[in-house]
A and B are shown apart, each in its own frame.
Chain A
Amino acid sequence: MHEESPTELLLLSENAELRTRLEGAEETLRAIRNGEVDAFVIESAAGPRVYTLQGVDAASNRLRGEILAQVSDAVIAIDGQQRVTYANAAAERQYGIGASWALGQLLSKVYETQWLPGAKAAAETALHERGEWRGENIHVRLDGRKLHVESSVTVLRETVDQSAGVLAVIRDISGRKEVEDKVRVSEIRYRRIFEAAQDGVLLLDPDTCRITDANPFMTELLGYSHDQLVGKELFEIGLLKDEGASLKMLQKLKTEHQVRYENLPLKSQRGRHQEVEVVANLYDENGRAVIQCNIRDITERKRVEEHNKMLMAEVNHRSMNLLAVVQAVAQQTARVGDPITFVGRLFDRIDGLAASQDLLVKNEWLGVDVADLVEVQLAHFKDLIGTRVLLDGGLPARLTPAAAQGIGMALHELATNAGKYGALSNSEGRVQISWTVSAGNKPTFLMSWLEHGGPKVAPPTRKGFGQMVIGRMVEAAVDGTAEIDYRESGFSWKLSAPFAAALQMGRVASSAGDARG
């Protein structure tokens, strides 16, 4: 045996060291091969580095990662401390974030969750009990934009009892929600219009010609219930006279898409007759043909039209009649005096007629209060009313239109005469105008015109228009009697008439019926 040199010793030592390392490496490889190592840490200049060893699973995990990156729904995973451990490309887009920033962030930094009423508790229970939850809520992004989302959340468990985090697949359904909202609002709006419409609306199936829906107004209009209406044809509910008419409408609808019937007489279930206007439209409802009929009750409109027509005719009739009265007054006025006096007198009398007419119209042809009539016919002497012209009406009395016209003309003649020859022709004479109703079994309207303090009175030498008006004309107008006295101390005129002939009974009178002519 020979002495080993120092070089030989060093080599031997190195050899032993390498053997030990090799044995260690061989042990590591064996452990790796046997699946005893998941990862190992290698110390490097940059610090320790972890290398995981996943073998075949690594390839499938890469594939899963690529799929997750491609899907359009956002996928986010968090750990037990609510920190983001994964976010796919769709999540980056959906929340406007970068995945590198998000990883390790608290989830609440990525978006704020606003729960729909009751949803939070339900979600917590579901996750706890079943390990998954699916539902809708609102996510508010960092920039404040609100997203309506539908989430599918699964708990990731490493061991049975230890929660390792959750994985959420989140779909932005804001666009769909908006459309749904619009559809819902539109549905509510049109439903409300349909329900509340003051027109009847019927929907029909063009193939069977039968009613498929009717709004509440329609059931009210016809007196049939909704159930009774559905399934019926139009002629069965009295809207069209027979099946033939129904077919005719359908034919016309197919070519013109709209049919309009005006003034269709309609007999309701309760036997009420109404005039209706029907507009039928044929249109396409999502690929299905529908007939919509709008039925409008025009009974009231027709009635108003008829009433207006009647009123116009009545106005015309009254105008003609009044012109005939003016013509008669002109003829009578022309009997005495020269042309110049004639024109003055005629104009005065037309003024009197106009004043009474005005009052009648103001009172809607329902009669005129005596006090008002006296006031307008004594308009020339209005300054004397209360001093030299005293009015004494015991109670408000309302003259019929015919009595008002007759008494109005008489008052006009009385006032004219008083001003020309009687108590109002000097500076101190007085006129007392009174009216009352005497009770008893024959109630009588009494009116008087008494003059005092005027020039000495003498009866007229000839009977003129004025005498006719305050005498037989007014008598005829009120079916009464007029007493005329040309007493020297003062002229007097007393009219008495049956209550019913002179005064309006109550305030209601037929508007057309009282016209003369």
Chain B
Amino acid sequence: MDKHQQARILIVEDEPMIAFTLQDLLVEAGFKVACVAAKLEKALALIESAGCDAAIVDANLAGVSASPAAAALAARGLPFIVLSGYSPEQLQGAFPAAVFMKKPSRPATIIQALKGIVYKQ
């Protein structure tokens, strides 16, 4: 994506405190938050309607794996970060196309990684 375009980011996160803080963080970093989805259906609907350019995905949504969202993003060639308290080994390859980040991650690191996948820096 062109650096001068404002990328639309989907946040898939069921913990509101983390979701809203990520939202603030992304807005401050110059991104547009397309949607905060606490549920898989909402995330999938947004991906289907081509409403985002990239995503930050929490691996586990109240006991439901977010891997279908990851698969949908990968199918559309959309870059995304998986942000989870689980380690990549624990997720057992359910998120193959992802850049993986462990919770808690520093805000600056998240922004840097997001810029990396969106603008291929």
Contacts and interface: CB of A to CB of B under 8 A. Distances in A.
Interface of A: 313, 316-321, 323-329, 331-332, 402, 406, 409, 468-469, 472-474, 476-477, 479, 510, 512-517
11 contacts: A317-B84, A317-B86, A320-B103, A321-B103, A328-B17, A402-B62, A468-B20, A513-B62, A514-B62, A514-B63, A515-B62
A365 B111 CA distance: 33
A323 B21 CA distance: 14
Contact of A324 (B18, B20, B60, B90): B18
Given A331-B25, A472-B16, A321 B85 contact: yes
A474 B16 CA distance: 8
B58 to A, nearest CB: 6
A320 B18 contact: no
Given A324-B15, A325-B15, 9 more contacts: A318-B85, A325-B18, A331-B21, A331-B25, A332-B17, A476-B16, A476-B38, A513-B63, A517-B59
A424 B51 CA distance: 47
A477 to B, nearest CB: 5
A328 B21 contact: yes
A323 B86 contact: no
B85 A320 contact: yes
Q: Which 10 A-B pairs have the closest CB atoms?
A: A513-B63, A320-B85, A476-B16, A328-B21, A324-B104, A324-B103, A317-B85, A321-B85, A517-B85, A323-B104
Contact of A516 (B15, B21, B22): B15
A510 to B, nearest CB: 6
B120 interface: no
B11 to A, nearest CB: 12
B14 A516 contact: yes
B107 interface: yes
Interface string B98-111: 00001111010000
A516 B103 contact: no
A402 to B, nearest CB: 6
Interface in B9-47: 14-22, 24-25, 36, 38
Contacts of A323: 103-104
A310 to B, nearest CB: 10
A320 B17 contact: no
Contacts of A329: 17
A402 B38 CA distance: 12
B20 to A, nearest CB: 6
Nearest to B60: A517
A491 to B, nearest CB: 22
Contact of B85 (A324, A479, A512): A324
Summarize B's interface: helix, strand, loop or mixed.
mixed
Contacts of B14: 402, 516-517
Interface residues of B, number: 29
Interface of B: 14-22, 24-25, 36, 38, 58-63, 84-87, 90, 102-105, 107
A479 B59 CA distance: 20
A284 B18 CA distance: 69
Nearest to B22: A328
Nearest to A472: B20
A406 B90 contact: no
Contacts of A321: 15, 85, 103
Contacts of B36: 476
A325 B22 CA distance: 11
Contact of A515 (B17, B20, B22, B63): B63
A512 B58 CA distance: 16
Contacts of A409: 17
Given A512-B63, A514-B62, A331 B107 contact: yes
B62 A327 contact: no
A326 B15 CA distance: 12
Nearest to B86: A317
Contacts of A324: 15, 18, 85, 103-105
Nearest to A401: B62
Contact of A517 (B16, B58, B107): B58
Q: Which of A327, A469, A510 has its CB near the most chain B CB atoms (within 10 A)?
A: A327
A477 B16 contact: yes
A473 B23 CA distance: 12
A292 to B, nearest CB: 41
Contacts of B63: 510, 512-515
Q: Which of A319, A324, A402, A512 has its CB near the most chain B CB atoms (within 10 A)?
A: A324
Contacts of B17: 325, 328-329, 332, 409, 469, 473
A469 B58 CA distance: 21
Contacts of A514: 62-63
A318 B90 CA distance: 13
Contacts of A319: 85
A317 B21 contact: no
B84 A517 contact: yes
Contacts of A476: 16, 19-20, 36, 38
Contacts of A326: 104
A320 B104 contact: yes
Contacts of A468: 20
A327 B107 CA distance: 9
A479 B90 CA distance: 29
Contacts of A512: 63
Nearest to A330: B21
Contacts of A328: 17-18, 20-22
A502 B4 CA distance: 43
Contacts of B102: 320
Contact of B90 (A317, A327, A332, A516): A317
A368 to B, nearest CB: 16
A516 B104 contact: no
Nearest to A329: B17
